[in-house]
A = this chain, B = another copy of it.
Amino acid sequence: MRTYSISKLARLFDLSRSTLLYYDRIDLLPACARTESGYRVYTQEDAGRLERICRLRRAGLCLEDIRSILSTGDQPSAVLLENRLKGIGEEILELKVQQGLLLSMLKGVASKGTWPQVDKQMWVEMLRAAGMDEAAMARWHAEFERRAPEEHHSFLLSLSIPEREVERIREWSRKKGTDL
């Protein structure tokens, strides 16, 4: 059976040797054996495990979550993935705020004019320009809430609407939905 030394396996997955040393130390990917002289020996099975680890790492999961996913042996739990998705949404929002601040510092100008952040106001203006009125927007929210409540929530958050107002809007959407 094909085996790998630590550096060979690292090169195979474009990782550093010290990453694999670390994964061994925290028991995430222990080398399956050692040579007489103490060299780590990795098998194809180890390589398979490492591939799963890398895939999950690319998705931004932390090593602790990856460990628990691998220990169950099968599909990652949806809750875990959704949590990470929520976290990513928040991180992106935070980075966009930073972007806006930096741009306004660079221009020496209030952020309003210089950066086309799509927020609630702009979104409403665009729908209105397309010919939608209040009633149509209400129908649209109701439809969104009915079909995909989670997505409705994160869509509203992406428009920089604070959590509490998001809740109000969704409440109102559900009411409109039953009214129809």
Contact = CB atoms under 8 A, between A and B. Distances in A.
Interface of A: 55, 58-60, 75-78, 81-82, 84-85, 88-89, 91-92, 95-99, 101-103, 105-106, 108-110, 114-118, 122, 125-127, 129-132, 135-137, 139-140, 143-144, 147-148, 150-151, 155
A58 B106 contact: no
B130 A60 contact: no
A130 B137 contact: yes
Taking the full assembly, how many copies of this chain does it contain? 2
A76 B136 CA distance: 42
Given A116-B147, A147-B116, A147-B122, A76 B105 contact: yes
Contact of A110 (B78, B122, B130, B147): B78
B147 A136 contact: no
Contact of A95 (B92, B109, B137): B92
Given A92-B92, A98-B88, A99-B85, A108 B140 contact: no
A81 B101 CA distance: 10
A83 to B, nearest CB: 10
Contacts of A108: 75
A159 to B, nearest CB: 11
Nearest to A126: B143
A118 B85 contact: no
Determine chain A's interface SS by DSSP, over half rule: helix
A98 B130 contact: no
A88 B102 contact: yes
A130 B136 contact: yes
A102 B139 CA distance: 30
A116 B59 contact: no
